Structure 1
Amino acid sequence: MHIVALHNLKGGVGKTAAAVNLAAQAAEAGIPTLLWDLDAQAAATWCLGAQARLAKPPRKLFRRKAPIGREAARTQWDYLDLLPADESLRHLDDLVAKGKDGGRLLHGLLQPFSENYALVVLDCPPSFSRLAEAVVRNADRVLCPLIPAPLSLNAWRQMAGHFDRKRYGRDKLRPFLSMVDRRRSLHRTWAETPPTTLRGCLSTWIPYATDVERMSVRRAPLAAFAPRSPAADAYRRLWTELAEDLDTRP
């Protein structure tokens, strides 16, 4: 089972859109996929037409007093299941902090899913946290969407430096450009030649598009209502690039 996380220190960079569309592309390829919405804002849950509610409180699930597998629910798309968010996930970092080893705790929760899924996509809340560290420890790849701007590059440097110092993020982090507006000269320049400091940057970039914003209205991935759009094609290419990268993971 592959584990792919979507993470960034900043919000509003297209993280959830990427998580939903990559999971949908994997499912469309016939790969049994679980999207786990770890963000209390529940944007991924909303975009897949589900309710942001868990049957059991996260404190029971993370302390393994209740089976987390029962929280996974089918979506209307074949091969795509969802483990929805819950507003109480805002306290999730405290639950991870109380564990002796957050990475081991999350590993124990993820492993049973390998019986039913070949891919788990984690949509993470934007922050530096113990949860983020646990996610990076367990993920095969951590994708970081970046808007082409100096502040985004600075956030990337902080994130890469932090996880490198922890010695478990090296070679897992994969930045990619998101919300690229080719009307802007800086966006065009970065899309053609990303900064050299973006180590491991994926070549596919995601355009700024109204169709992506419509996901929250249609409550569906792009492949379901705008499959021929430039944004849908970009996510399709991003998934192909990611799948090839996963096949060569160390």
Structure 2
Amino acid sequence: MSIIACYSSKGGVGKTAAAVNLAYASTAAGNSTLLIDLDQQGAASFYFRIRPPKKLRAKRLIGKNNTAYDSIRETDFEALHLLPAHQSYRNFDALLDGMKKSHTRLKALIDELSEEYDQVILDCPPSLSLVAENIFQAADTLLVPLVPTTLSLRTYEQLKEFFEDSGYKRKRLRPFFSMVDKRKRLHQHVVSQLRHTEKRLLQTSIPYSAEVEAMGTHREPVLHFAPRHPSSIAFETLWEEVVSE
């Protein structure tokens, strides 16, 4: 089983769109796939038209006798399942802080599901917190979407510094450009600059697209409702690049 996290400490960078479409691409490639929505806003759950079970709570998810398996839901797409988000996830950090082995609770939860799925994809909340450290412990690869702006690059540099200071392996960080508008000179400049300095940068870029924004209207991956659109092709290419390594 492989675990891929779509993570950024900065919001509004296309993280959830990437997680949703990569989960779809994984299933299309023949993998039994679980998408775990860890963001209390529940955007990934919304895109798949899934509401959280009434009994789902953060404590039940990461507690000693967790009920994660009972909370997993099928989506409209065969072999693609979702563990939905819940508003109680806003208390994740406080709950984890009072638990033993607080940095590895998420990994333990996922390990229990290892025989059920080929691929697990995490849609992560935009924070650098105890939840984030659980994600860093659990994931084999961390995909970091970067909008081509100076602030986005600064956020990524801070993440690299945190990894180095905390003893995490930086080679697991795989940034890629997201929401790229080639008409903007700043985007052109930032993309060119980082391609010369960041060896771990993935070659695939996700373009800014109204079709991706329309996922909220269609409530399904853009790869499904517009498979030939350039953004869909980009997500498919991103998936192929990640799994080819």
| TM-score, normalised via structure 1 length | 0.94
User: 1:196, CA displacement in angstroms?
Assistant: 3.9
Separation of aligned partners in 2, 1:138 and 1:70 = 21
Counterpart for residue 37 of structure 1? 37
Please give the residue correspondences for 1:56-95 in structure 2 after superposition, counting only pairs within 5 Å: 56-95=56-95
Counterpart for residue 55 of structure 1? 55
Separation of aligned partners in 2, 1:166 and 1:70 = 34
User: 1:50, CA displacement in angstroms?
Assistant: 1.0
SS at match of 2:112: helix
Deviations 1:97-155 (A, max 9, x none): 22222332222111111111011101110011011011111110001100001100100
Counterpart for residue 248 of structure 1? none
Counterpart for residue 205 of structure 1? 205
Segment of structure 1 superposing worse, 184-193 or 81-90: 184-193
Cα contact 1:7–1:126 (8 A) shared by 2? yes
SS at match of 2:18: helix
| TM-score, normalised via structure 2 length | 0.95
Separation of aligned partners in 1, 2:54 and 2:234 = 32
Separation of aligned partners in 1, 2:113 and 2:199 = 31
User: 1:173, CA displacement in angstroms?
Assistant: 0.5
Separation of aligned partners in 1, 2:102 and 2:203 = 32
Separation of aligned partners in 2, 1:142 and 1:10 = 14
Counterpart for residue 181 of structure 2? 181
Please give the residue correspondences for 1:16-35 in structure 2 after superposition, counting only pairs within 5 Å: 16-35=16-35
User: 1:169, CA displacement in angstroms?
Assistant: 3.5
Separation of aligned partners in 1, 2:169 and 2:93 = 19
Segment of structure 1 superposing worse, 45-54 or 189-198: 189-198
Counterpart for residue 141 of structure 1? 141
User: 1:67, CA displacement in angstroms?
Assistant: 2.5
User: 1:224, CA displacement in angstroms?
Assistant: 1.5
Cα contact 1:52–1:87 (8 A) shared by 2? no
Segment of structure 1 superposing worse, 91-100 or 12-21: 91-100
SS at match of 1:160: helix
Segment of structure 1 superposing worse, 88-97 or 50-59: 50-59
User: 1:189, CA displacement in angstroms?
Assistant: 3.6
Deviations 1:211-238 (A, max 9, x none): 0000011000012110000000000000
User: 1:192, CA displacement in angstroms?
Assistant: 5.0
Counterpart for residue 8 of structure 2? 8
SS at match of 1:174: strand
Please give the residue correspondences for 1:150-229 in structure 2 after superposition, counting only pairs within 5 Å: 150-192=150-192, 194-229=194-229
User: 1:195, CA displacement in angstroms?
Assistant: 4.4
Cα contact 1:46–1:52 (8 A) shared by 2? no
Q: What fraction of aligned residue pairs are identical, expressed as a percent?
A: 40
User: 1:48, CA displacement in angstroms?
Assistant: 1.1
- Please give the root-mean-square deviation of Cα atoms over the aligned residues, in Å: 1.4
Q: 1:54 to 1:95 in 2, by over 3 A?
A: farther
Q: Which runs of 5+ in 2 are unaligned?
A: none
Separation of aligned partners in 1, 2:102 and 2:28 = 32
Counterpart for residue 235 of structure 2? 235
Separation of aligned partners in 2, 1:87 and 1:75 = 20
Cα contact 2:195–2:201 (8 A) shared by 1? no
Cα contact 1:28–1:79 (8 A) shared by 2? no
SS at match of 1:103: coil
Separation of aligned partners in 2, 1:194 and 1:107 = 32
Indicate whether 1:130 and 2:117 are aligned: no
Q: 1:153 to 1:54 in 2, by over 3 A?
A: farther
Deviations 1:229-250 (A, max 9, x none): 00000000000001112xxxxx
User: 1:49, CA displacement in angstroms?
Assistant: 1.3
Amino acid at match of 2:100: K
